[in-house]
Amino acid sequence: MPEFIAQTLNGLTLAGIIFLVSSGFTLVFGVMRVTNLSHGAVYLVGGYIGYSVISATHNFFLGLAAGALAMAALGYLLERTLISWLGRSEMAELLATLGLIYVLDDLALAIWGGSPVTINLPGFLGKSSTLPGGIVYPNGRVFILIVAAAVAAGLYYLLRRTRIGAILRAGVDDRDMVSALGINVRRVFAFVFTLGALLAGFAGVLGGTVLGLYTGGDSDILLFALAVVIVGGLGSYEGAIVGSIIIGLIDNYGTAYFPAVAYSVLFIPVIAILLVRPVGLFGRAGT
């Protein structure tokens, strides 16, 4: 039982990281209808930038802020240039963001090399504590759980309790109506894309403490994000939360108890959802 509880906490920690990535991914798709395949690469580069700042300053929180803000700036730049210039062509956006993966990956490889690196948490966060039941568990993973829950609460407030959230939710349902009401849709798109990139960069630094940073790590995290939006539903914030928990737990249980078929265990629920409810658990037809 203690081992099962520890594996459950590991799965929830992974779910927290996946949520930070997939929430931005599904928000961008839900509002802008842009399948941003470069989202995983933004996660990886944000993590590397955070790693470099932490190595130079020995301040983890400064690196966390640097990774998030740098990717927010990149996201804003991409939306103002590449995404806008493509003229809302879905195939062009798909191919352009796919090509952007290789550009960002090659830049990361040239700057940081191909050797995997891990971000070390400072002080108390880098140690372990004894939880009820005698389980010794890393403080850093508990910290990630708390941060992910706080971000989830903040996003919920933003989306459900503010005017900006009302505009974003309306944009998911009917973008033409939002435009007709005199709202600057381009500004909304820029905000959404920037927020999505910020969350990805933020997750990259946190993920670097648990998963490490390595060549190909962007593909792995993007695969998780895609699985989450399939299970939870495209454009659904609640779906991003529930989907992340499901995928995080299943992946960790599969890796811990069925390592030979871990990927099969992960994608069984994805296939089941596609067969039973193609729009996802919280998705709606037409989104």
- The pLDDT averaged over each successive group of 10 residues in the chain (287 residues) is 87 94 84 82 96 96 97 94 82 89 94 93 91 86 94 89 79 68 78 92 96 92 90 84 92 88 80 85 69
**Looking up tokens 């995290």, which residue turns up?**
221
CA dist., res. 152 & res. 149, Å (int): 5
The token duo for 88 is 């809302």
pTM confidence score: 0.92
The token duo for 263 is 């990927």
Per-residue pLDDT, 189: 80
CA dist., res. 142 & res. 163, Å (int): 33
Per-residue pLDDT, 248: 92
CA dist., res. 70 & res. 162, Å (int): 26
Do residues 247 and 220 touch, judged by C-beta distance below 8 A? no
Q: Which residues contact 266 (CB under 8 A, 6 or more apart)?
A: 227, 247, 250, 251, 254
CA dist., res. 18 & res. 239, Å (int): 12
| Half-sphere exposure (Cβ direction) of 255: Cα atoms closer than 13 Å | 11
The token duo for 145 is 């759980």
**3-state SS, residue 116:** coil
CA dist., res. 28 & res. 199, Å (int): 11
